[in-house]
Amino acid sequence: MNLAQILFYIMAFVTLGSALVVAISKNLVRSIFMFFVTLFGLAGLYVLAVADFVAVTQIVIYVGGILVLILFAFMLSGKQTLDAVAQQQNKFISLGNLYAFILAALFLVVMVNVVFKADVNALPWVKTAKETGNVIPVNQSGINNIGINLMTRYLLPFEAISILLMIALVGAAHLSRKEGNA
């Protein structure tokens, strides 16, 4: 086993373990902070997959933005709401969670199926890309390519996402407005 493999297993263990704690923990705040560890483990996995740009983006967006906002929402909500959440019968394995378990199990089946059927070592599109020389070496800066592709080939999805974000922004502004004045 070489170093990259050892690192991969460490990262995978950190990611999965912390995700499990996020799901099981009764303390909501600790769950949120544990989620931070999960996201970091995921970023580490991206780095191991030589996708450093994705890894850093993951940290900027999830850790710097979304996680802090979740914490914000958490700390701004009243104590009674939080107590109600903490009080509820929160056994991890119980009959009430049956549907969730079935759903999760089905997802697992689908994912395992995908992993085994896909034959990741011999994907056709990877093969053709290798044959036609349509690859970017690891040591070169991939961001220029990402930028060009976003602005040419994937312009429509890119713009669609920006419109979606815009709608969310307008919606948030509308929700936070005081009633009665309008």
**Interface positions with another protein (CB under 8 A):** 27, 29-30, 33, 36, 52-53, 56-57, 59-60, 63-65, 67-69, 71-72, 75-76, 141, 143
How many other CB atoms are found less than 10 A from the CB of residue 15? 19
Q: Closest CB to another protein among 8 and 53?
A: 53
Min CB(138)–another protein separation in Å: 11
Measured distance CA(134)–CA(122) in Å, rounded: 16
Q: Closest CB to another protein among 110 and 151?
A: 151
Q: How far is CA 47 from CA 18, 41, 58, 176, in A?
A: 19, 10, 11, 38
Min CB(91)–another protein separation in Å: 23
Measured distance CA(145)–CA(59) in Å, rounded: 21
- Cβ within 8 Å of residue 54, ≥6 positions away: 46
Q: Closest CB to another protein among 8 and 33?
A: 33
Min CB(113)–another protein separation in Å: 35
Q: Closest CB to another protein among 88 and 141?
A: 141
Min CB(58)–another protein separation in Å: 9
Contact between 79 and 52 (Cβ < 8 Å): no
